Structure 1
Amino acid sequence: MQFHSFTVQARADTPLGPVRLAASPNGLSGVWFEGQRHEPSAHLYGSEAWALAPGDHPVLQEVAHQLQQYLGGQRQHFDLPLDLSGGTAFQQSVWRALLQIGRGQTISYGMLGRQLGNPSAVRAVGAAVGRNPLSVVVPCHRVLGADGSLTGYAGGLDRKRALLTLENAPLLAAAAHPMKATA
């Protein structure tokens, strides 16, 4: 992924754990749970890390506030300027399609590929969903396996389950309670 050279970052605590937030001059460009798969670690930690944003950075302050409201059940959707330019054209098309999945709704990777006009691109769609840089805000957690199973959330399946439960999304019994699944 390519990020704007003037990207800044901040850290925020949420009910699902700490997140790293990133913003470019064009808008919100990153929301990653700390340690999340595919996070741009070199940009978030260490000597090459993005600069820390001032505490009054308007986009990062607002996303932290909206995340608290959303995860607390007081907000139904996000209203933020987004910068999706870090991804390829294909990734951006997948991420824009994710924004069209309503709260409480789910879709399979295959159906998402069909909606994008590329039904044979299930793996490519899955890879693009997995590399979504805006966890929760761009709702990649709403994508399920073909059989409705919880699969592949870079922030962890427990968080995916918690987000879908918060949104009252229908879950299969085995997905909602994996220990109760029968062979």
Structure 2
Amino acid sequence: MTVQYFALFDTAIGICGIEWGPRGINGVQLPMGSREKTLARIRQRHGGVNDDSSGELVEASPPAAVQYAIDGIVELLSGQPNDLSDIALDLDGVPAFNRGVYDIARSIPPGKTVTYGDIARQLGGVELSRDVGQALGRNPCPIVVPCHRVLAAGNKPGGFSARGGVETKLKMLAIEGAAVNHTPSLFD
């Protein structure tokens, strides 16, 4: 049985979570509105109720490398330009295409943005834009893999799967000082 560890921590946007295993950090949870909801989401993502394939989930004090990541996330979410690119992730089991998307996203500096199409072109063609969006929607380590810095065509926010949706994305981009073309519509 594999043991998966996690810790919760405070940030400027709420309580986040981080998960790690024997090979490193493999999950980051953005705030869900309360400590209990963030914890419930970590448990849900980990496998829910007694899924033997998921192993054991244990809250623990973070080792040095994980604490380093937590400190970087807290800095970034408080407005300090930490790009988090030196945080080692364990993305074993993540499809190769998604890892390629995440590698490109991790190269986007704080305060800057690219579009889904920009990443798709780097991976072979703009027709992969939807696949890029789907990969980012499945990002296990948001903020460390800065999917919030990836926008739709015309530098519009596009979607965001974290709690709060586009508003959370816009808040994170504002903290970083990024310019986004967002004109609210009747459907926002």
- The answer, yes or no, to whether TM exceeds 0.5 is yes
Alignment-mate amino acid for residue 77 of structure 1: D
Query: Does 1:136 pair with 2:146?
Result: no
Alignment-mate amino acid for residue 146 of structure 1: A
Distance 1:108 1:42, change over 3 A: closer
Query: Does 1:74 pair with 2:80?
Result: yes
Which runs of at least 4 in structure 1 moved beyond 6 Å after TM superposition? none
Separation in 1 of the partners of 2:65 and 2:49?
23
Separation in 1 of the partners of 2:75 and 2:135?
27
Corresponding residue for residue 129 of structure 2: 122
Separation in 1 of the partners of 2:45 and 2:173?
30
Corresponding residue for residue 6 of structure 2: 9
Query: Does 1:22 pair with 2:19?
Result: yes
Aligned CA RMSD, in angstroms, stands at: 2.6
Distance 1:40 1:101, change over 3 A: farther
SS at match of 1:69: helix
How high is the TM-score relative to the length of structure 2? 0.79
Q: Which runs of 5+ in 1 are unaligned?
A: none
Aligned ranges for residues 149-168 of structure 1 at < 5 Å? Answer: 149-155=156-162, 156-168=165-177
Q: Which moved more, 1:109-118 or 1:38-47?
A: 38-47
How high is the TM-score relative to the length of structure 1? 0.81
Corresponding residue for residue 57 of structure 2: 51
Distance 1:39 1:111, change over 3 A: farther
Distance 1:84 1:145, change over 3 A: same
Q: Which runs of 5+ in 2 are unaligned?
A: none
Higher relative helix content: 2
Separation in 2 of the partners of 1:40 and 1:94?
26
Separation in 2 of the partners of 1:166 and 1:43?
29
Corresponding residue for residue 114 of structure 2: 107
Q: Deviations over 1:71-111 (max 9, x none)?
A: 11234222322112231011111111111112221111112
Separation in 1 of the partners of 2:15 and 2:47?
13
Alignment-mate amino acid for residue 160 of structure 1: K
Distance 1:44 1:10, change over 3 A: farther
Alignment-mate amino acid for residue 170 of structure 1: A
Does the 8 Å contact 1:9/1:44 carry over to 2? no
